[in-house]
Amino acid sequence: MDPERLCVVLVAPRNPLNIGAAARAMSNFGFSRLRLVRPYEAAFREARSAVRAGHILAGAEEFQTVAEAAADCSLVVGTSAAGRRELQHPVRRLEYGGSLVRRRLASGRVALLFGSEKFGLSNADLAHCHWVMRVPAREEHGSMNLGQAVAVCLYELVRRPEAVTAQPERKKRPPAGSLEEFTRLLLDVLRESGYVHQRVEASTGMKIRRLVRRLDLSAHDAEIWLGMLRQILWKLGAPGSQS
């Protein structure tokens, strides 16, 4: 996927905060080509003067029609949050539509259209689209905020499916000997504190042993715990501790 090939097209946006939010989401997720069709002049001017994502807004192109804004794109996709029943277009959920857009971005330009805050994309706008991508929001809960819709769609494009099962942390595990020393020290501390009664010591030992294994400690944290336990045991005045 070449992010340079994606054109985010805002059709008739009215709110400068939303234009700025769209640009900021683009910047966050690594996209830069912003196009505006008939933006409210004052809104566009105000958005341009905002601090964030300035380079994207400075480079934004302005068009009078959707046809002109999408002329160099080989795939034109409309977006919609609610499941509008009157749509004459194939509607694809974002999860699936996103994969199609990503694939197309490997070879050509794609225009992703977002409608105005108030009316969404008109039927005339949608007639330029090959299909419509639907953000799976709950219909009964109204439309999505424009900046949030842009962020969610772009996130789906940069999302890495393989990261779902990735092993994100490789923490070093303590050797079993450390855990056993941890167990022994903890038992000593508990015995010195009067927590463990001689009568039930054997079964308590087993319980504590399992308890320690369930902690899922890193090697580093195990060392810290051993140090703390040694100190506690010394303070308790146990005969076996290094005092």
Residues that bind its own copies (CB under 8 A): 17, 21, 24-25, 27-30, 52, 81, 90-97, 99, 135-138, 141-142, 144-145, 147-148, 151-152, 155-156, 158-161, 163-166, 168-169, 171
Residue 166 is which amino acid?
A
In sequence order, what are the residues at sequence separation of 6 or more whose Cβ sits closer than 8 angstroms to the Cβ of residue 33? 4, 5, 6, 7, 8, 59
Is the CB of 39 or the CB of 98 nearer to its own copies? 98
Is the CB of 21 or the CB of 43 nearer to its own copies? 21
Burial 42-72 (b: 16+ CB within 10 A, else e): ebbeebeebeebeebbeebeebeebeebbee
Is the CB of 45 or the CB of 93 nearer to its own copies? 93
User: What's the min distance (Å) between Cβ of 68 and its own copies?
Assistant: 26
In sequence order, what are the residues at sequence separation of 6 or more whose Cβ sits closer than 8 angstroms to the Cβ of residue 226? 178, 181, 182, 185
User: What's the min distance (Å) between Cβ of 117 and its own copies?
Assistant: 11
Is the CB of 30 or the CB of 108 nearer to its own copies? 30
Q: Report the alpha-carbon distance of residue 70 to residue 35 in Å, rounded.
A: 9
User: What's the min distance (Å) between Cβ of 53 and its own copies?
Assistant: 8
How many beta carbons lie within 10 A of that of residue 38, not counting itself? 17
Is the CB of 67 or the CB of 87 nearer to its own copies? 87
Q: For the chain, give the number of residues.
A: 243
Query: Token match 């694939």: residue?
Result: 103
User: What's the min distance (Å) between Cβ of 3 and its own copies?
Assistant: 10
User: What's the min distance (Å) between Cβ of 230 and its own copies?
Assistant: 23
